[in-house]
Amino acid sequence: MPSNNRGRKSTNAGSKSKQKPKAKGKAKAQATEEAGAPTIADGDKASFSFSMSTPGPAPTNPVTPPQRAPPTGYDATPTRLRGKPSTTSAFVFNLGASTSGVAQDENPFVDSSSHPGPPGHADSNRSLQDLSQLASLASDNFKTLTTSTPYATHGAASTMKGQTSKIEGETLAKSIGFAPTSGPLFLRQQKFAQGIQTEAIESWLRSTESDGVYGAAWLVDKSDKTKASFDVVWNLPEVASEEKQLYPLLEKIITAISDKFVQPHLGPGISRKLKDTHKESLTHMDGETSTSPDFAVQATGPSFELPYDGKETGYTNITAVFDAKRDKNMIGIGILRQMGVYARQIFAQQPNRIFVRCMVLSEKRAQIVQFDRAGAQYSQFVSLNKEPEMFVRMVIELFGGGSERSIGFDDSISWIIVDGKKDSGTLTFGPPGKEIIYDLIGTRPVSHSFDIRGCATTIWGVTERGGTGESFIVKDSWTENGRTMEHKLLEMMKDVKGVSKMVDFHLRDIKTSDFRCATTVNLFTDRQASRLIMEAHGRSIEDGFSDPVEVLHALSDILVAHFQVYGKNILHRNITNKTVFLGSLDAPVGFRGVLTGFEGALNFHPKSGDTTISKEARLGTRFFQSYMILRFLSGLGVGEAPPHDHMDDLECVFNLVCFLFFTRRPDGKPRDKKDKARNMVRGWDSDSPEDALAFKSALFNPASGQKEAAIKLVSQSWGMACGALFKAFWEWVYGIQQRKGEILRRYMEEQEIEQAMMITELKRRMKGKNSQQNGVGEQGGCVATSRPDGEIEEGGKNSAADEDEEDGEDEVFAVLQPNAPVPRKEVAFKKGLFAPLMENGMVADHYIRVIHFFITAIAKIQVCPAQNGPPAIDTDRPLKRKREADQLAELKEVVANTCKKFRRSAEEAA
């Protein structure tokens, strides 16, 4: 059900006459990151600078696979003229004397265009009062939440750091969750190899052409039972003695099917070839680890390119993988773990993938495992000898001899391939008949999620064709049913400064249920694809700044934006270095920082908010997760974790500050890898929540001395003002952690008391029942009672009562056993566990205090930059280090030559 809002002035407010002048710094804009995310693949940053020039023509004589022709309904209207959200803000904020030293036009809380008065203007105070009231009302709504979407216990890096592929597979299987098995008609309903007639396959199987792999001749060495069951069979052992015995036989079978039904139908520039890769290493996205599927289908076409490491075959240019196993090892969870690692790398290195299908083969059966943004699904096992025609179709489908969409590609994105590499590409936006063609900036996405199940946000930089040539961001993501779509959230926030601005959106007619079995729709969370066009953001906050004030301005602006968004009953929940951007170089107050990545945001409005709380775990970036979230992920909490709240988001901002202070210099350059400042955040990005919590706890342990050392390091490199900001922010975060810890401690004590009281009550009941039974026994007779059906039963109790008492006895007996697990009462909060920290205007106080830290630091630097700003950076240090290394190398060479001369002289003397 395609939908589009182009031309709806009520949605994308603003006509041509009211458009905002383009910012001069637009040429350096960059894009955003997704929720949960997962550790991000930063694309071609060098090539992605949002230059206003349109990419030039392709080199002469390129190897050009077939490209999609421009649609007949091509819309040449410039994107800007189709309407855009309003950027007008009604927010005015005053901190009174705390902003002294900051010019009014530098104060992020005062809109000088609409309120030209001084910081103490009455309108400013009234606006602050209104915003605080909205935040209080929002917190009243939020306090009623007792649970929210849980976080995944695995990290979001392209490969689990420090873990083997086996452990990575186990972790991925946990994140994917339950994988249903399709119904018996799924493979037929999906119309595998629909261009191939059944008669053509059966004719080939009957002919002598297939005798090398399939025929009666291969029955000779089979058992009598097999001979009685089949007239013809595949050239495979009846029972494989070892897995490698299957490799050459399966390769011959699959290649024969490909030669007959795939190769003759391939167009120019398209190729498919089965490669035995069980001894090759296919490099992962991180460039360090690798895995070896048994077979891979090497391919060329508009979505494939040669691997980054220069090898012939890699995850960048394969359609699917085949894996051979002995039939007794065809176990579901083991298959999911192994195939999940391969599928994840295909998703990571082929960014326009919608789903990935892999095949597992034994000497008897075949099964397809499909991975998509809803998780995974198994097909039913197909008997190779009973259903040879279906097996052939499965092989053809995984080769992808038909359209790229049939093997899981989003063919609205395609590239021109030159010398095996992607050279330039296009992206098509909009429903059929109303498509707009954009040129991709660079060949890789600006950011790309590595997770299989989830939003899977991918960001593309584009320039407009046939229009203004302006640069935009295109954001692809998948939203689960019951959640507020991101374009609706952005529409709700269109009047908030410092939030990414939507230009257009398209709800795509693609759902994960489209390529799932109809019998499993109730066994997974369906997701719908959407595509947004957004204004190009500024530079990346992690490597786009040149002085501390620029960073402080950006963070103060996004904090104000976050405050306003919270007042609209929306919580971001994913503040990272990939979702916070600097504004353009001449951005006005309020736009000096841009907050993006709302695809995972929570709409907690009681009436129009999210209708369901998903139990599907979402990814998060360990480095930026709050202490309390990591504590629950590590199993140190009680029951289900309470909802991610605004305090967690503010702590994420603190973690972002730590990231910048300890991994970057004040001029924006990365610190040296041996810089001791990096030790302050070492291990924060560990994939294990236990490890990340342990490393992060060291900074907040008063006895460790890390706090004082961190303040000293920040003050020495970023300046005294930033050192004071870090100290104040640390103390605020530490105070919140202590208050939350105390609330959690009291709650756990209450749970233990309730547990003890429950056990005592069970013991008392058991003792009373034993006394009654003893009393009956002493009377020496049986008491006849009437059963509900009118029959008389001996024994003094009816059967139902017997069962109840037996259950009670079993429960008490289990409690009294020393090694038995104590039955725990299900945790159910009447209101949010940390609701006491959101009472009586505390939410507004939290925001104002944190924002005040940044305003104070800015004021100090602007009033006295020599004293409070960063010291001069010795830019020649790398050159000096190189000169020293060169001198040491020369000295070693002189010593080595002297030693050689000495040995030669000694030999001659001898």
- pLDDT per residue as tens digits for the range 351-369: 999 999 999 999 999 999 9
The model's confidence at residue 162, banded by pLDDT at 50, 70 and 90, is low
Which of 578, 558, 556 is closest to 566 using CA atoms?
558
Compute the residue count for the chain. 910
Checking if the pLDDT of 296 tops 70, the result is yes
Give pLDDT, residue 9: 34
d(CA 46, CA 24): 20
Least confident stretch, 219-228, 509-518, 614-623 = 614-623
Residue 180 amino acid letter? P
Worst-scoring range by mean pLDDT, 260-269, 303-312, 612-621? 612-621
Query: May I ask the CATH class of domain 424-746+839-865+879-909?
Result: mainly alpha
Question: Any idea where the domains of the chain sit in the sequence?
Answer: 165-403, 424-746+839-865+879-909
Q: What is the pLDDT of residue 714?
A: 96
Q: What is the DSSP letter of 12?
A: S
Token duo for residue 627: 């202490």
- Whether residue 160 contacts residue 154, with contact meaning beta carbons closer than 8 Å, is answered with yes
The predicted pLDDT at position 584 comes to 85
**Residue 23 reports pLDDT greater than 50:** no
Classified as helix, coil or strand, 881 is helix
Number of Cβ within 10 Å of residue 811's Cβ equals 16
**Dist. CA 242–CA 253, nearest whole Å:** 18
Residue 461 sits at φ, ψ, to 5 deg, of -95, 130
Could you write out the DSSP letters of every residue in 174-226?
HHH---PBPPTTHHHHTTTTTTS-HHHHHHHHHSGGGTTTEEGGGGTTS-HHH
Reported as a pLDDT band with limits 50, 70 and 90, residue 33 is: very low
In the numeric block, which tokens belong to residue 548? 């501390």
Q: What is the mean pLDDT of residues 734-744?
A: 93
CA angle 350, 355, 359 (to 5 degrees): 100
Q: What is the pLDDT of residue 702?
A: 86
Q: What is the pLDDT of residues 875-906, one digit of tens each?
A: 555 555 556 666 667 777 777 777 777 777 77
Note whether 380 and 182 are within 8 A (CB): yes
**Alpha carbons 416 and 65: distance in angstroms, whole number:** 7
List helix spans (H) across 291-430: 332-349, 388-399
- Band the pLDDT of 404: cuts 50, 70, 90: confident
502-553 pLDDT per residue, tens: 999 999 999 999 999 999 989 998 999 999 999 988 788 988 898 999 999 9
- Residue 102 pLDDT: 45
d(C-alpha 616, C-alpha 176), whole Å: 9
CB atoms within 10 A of CB 475: 30
Q: What percent of the chain has pLDDT over 70?
A: 72
CA 218 to chain centre: 49
pLDDT band for 798, please (50, 70, 90 cuts): very low
d(CA 679, CA 710): 10
For CA atoms 906, 907, 908, 910, the dihedral sign is: positive
Question: Cα separations (Å) of 862 from 106, 276, 558, 589, 672?
Answer: 10, 64, 20, 16, 28
- Averaged pLDDT for residues 227-231: 91
pLDDT exceeds cutoff 70 at 56: no
In angstroms, the Cα distances linking 303 to 41, 168, 315, 457, 511 are 18, 27, 12, 18, 21
Using CA atoms, how far apart are residues 240 and 445, in angstroms rounded to an integer?
Answer: 44
Exposure string for 764-790, b = 16+ CB within 10 A, e = fewer? eebeeeeeeeeeeeeeeeeeeeeeeee
Q: What is the mean pLDDT of residues 298-307?
A: 95
Cα three-residue angle 764-768-770, rounded to 5 degrees: 115
The structure tokens 């990365």 sit at 670
Radius of gyration of the chain (CA): 33
What is the pLDDT at residue 119? Answer: 37
Angstrom distances, CA of residue 713 to CA of 202, 676, 680, 718: 74, 9, 10, 8
Q: If you average pLDDT over every residue of the chain, what do you get?
A: 78
Query: What integer is the mean pLDDT of 178-197?
Result: 86
Residue 808 has pLDDT above 70, yes or no: no
pLDDT of 68 > 60? The answer is no
pLDDT value of position 338: 93
Nearest CA among 332, 302, 478, 521 for reference residue 407: 302
* The predicted structure's pLDDT at residue 77: 58
Using an 8 Å Cβ cutoff, are 295 and 321 in contact?
yes
Q: Has residue 617 got a pLDDT over 70?
A: no
Is residue 53 pLDDT above 50, yes or no? Answer: no
Q: Is the pTM of this model over 0.75?
A: no
pLDDT of residue 825: 38
Query: Does residue 830 surpass a pLDDT of 70?
Result: no
Q: What's the confidence (pLDDT) of residue 57?
A: 38
pLDDT band at 734 (very low <50, low <70, confident <90, very high): very high
What pLDDT, in 10s, does the model give residues 773-796?
A: 665 544 444 434 343 344 433 344
Structure tokens at 884: 């020293």
Query: Does the pLDDT at position 98 exceed 50?
Result: no
Per DSSP bridges, beta strands 436-440 and 458-464 are antiparallel
Cα separation, 105 vs 123, whole angstroms: 16
Residues 601-610 have a mean pLDDT of 83
Quick one: pLDDT at residue 873? 63
Mean pLDDT of 26-51: 37
What is the arithmetic mean of pLDDT over 224-242? 93
